[in-house]
Structure 1
């Protein structure tokens, strides 16, 4: 009788343990999802390919299994710009060229950053450009034209972004209206730095405006700013212990296309790939994170072609069997489909071919388990 009682107790204990374990798993699955959106401005498939031909290490792009493509036309132009492209990502609606956070009818649209703040998300932005530039601005501002930097900076003051790093100091401190928005940010409990990426203050919001306009390009000697700012933001969000939305822009891949500068393009893509590596390490340690890497458009009509050497005496050219060249079609944006790479929880949602504004809806559906 005693033996039978012990067996029954053991069975009940086991059932209780399994039930608790199942409950814990379900609780983990319902934890709010961290979102990291990386935008390689102007980065098409050929630009990505340069990382495979010119990098010393295996590109981090190769770690992705869930890959799709987006179609990028805006409502006004078949060939989009960064403002309309980023607004599609941030609002879920396509809009006209040059619009920042506005509908095709010039009405303000709630951005994903604003929506998630209401759900108690932390928010962050990193860019090589002024923080008021088209791509970062589309996540918090609502203006009719991307060049209205001082108006965009006024919207930034109201945005309550928890962490940001980039350029654009003059749009806050040296404005035509003489307002000192830098001081206004300090008054709103920001720890600011205009010199370096110093240690964050965990009890404040943190911002870094490290250039009057944009930061230097890689060919101009920029250091590891993009990786360092990204890691600093991730450390800040992790220490705060709340879910976050973090947009990181590799801005100057686009510059390489506009300048038709192969060296600049190569170095900026490799720098962006290194930054992807930083984020992938974070995703591996924090599996309740969704990473999306894409671009707003392609710039330069870039292709990867044969490389030739010319004989100085005869003028004849011969193909180099073991190297390639970067070729530009022009110095403008193009309409090529843009790759989307996804990693982490719910990353399979990003497979297939779809419109660029679907990025927004796929992210929110992942967050809300739809």
Structure 2
């Protein structure tokens, strides 16, 4: 079990700010306190935290788009701007690799993923590698950074690469793992042993299970609905308006309770679902689906593994949701954050 007190950072894209919260899950009831709101780049919708150096890498949409680097003050929660690098396309996802010496990003609009070396004081340098995948939405790392997965919503695949410490990418054999046609794979997480990967699909609202072998290759092994099936939602597709059409709009997923439950968010009905994970890594039907903040695009499972902090694009608050031993979900606190909240990451205190 992780720390009971941690800092959670939340990106408020519509305000171009990041809120910093102190969360204490040892308190009864748990407390959720906003410490600071810091101005960041325009439309910030993703960021990565280097906890060892207290650096935050935040994507900005702008013209041109860029990546800003901030110093995090753990006492006040404030972010101090240090550096800015222009990039080719706005980033939808950022992750650090190889001890923070590399920053990897996925650009949905640009249709690519890039690897950036990180220099002294966190300066983001010119990319060493770039791969093109339509509507690239997520990057995920495994094998101590040796393997990189790029989730392509537009191509219905997860692209697979080896990532060198120098920032080079080499396709694995095979170079892709398939997702169901038209499902729109979006975000990917790995279990603690990295023997399974789970992918949330945007258009079909499924949690996909992949087996992962020693070479890093992923093989699709199952799928389970991760949305409220009794609300009349229909299958979506690229370019459709999910609000107007009342369509499935899957978003994010994370493991909780030592990997025994997979949580997933869906935006059209603003729900968070809890799916049991069997010892063999397979998923069961949802045991709990609850309403949460409006249009929950991104969320985070806290380090103690028993609580999730959920952000809502159409809400001004974040919600703290408890996950009990049976996988049942219950909101325990809310706090104001800002407009267009869509991303959360944490640092243990």
Q: When the two structures are superposed, what TM-score results if normalisation uses the length of structure 2? A: 0.33
Task: Give the number of the structure with larger relative contact order, counting CA–CA contacts within 8 Å between residues 6 or more apart.
Answer: 1
Q: When the two structures are superposed, what TM-score results if normalisation uses the length of structure 1? A: 0.32
Report the structure, 1 or 2, having the larger strand content: 2
The higher radius of gyration belongs to 1
Report the structure, 1 or 2, having the larger helix content: 1
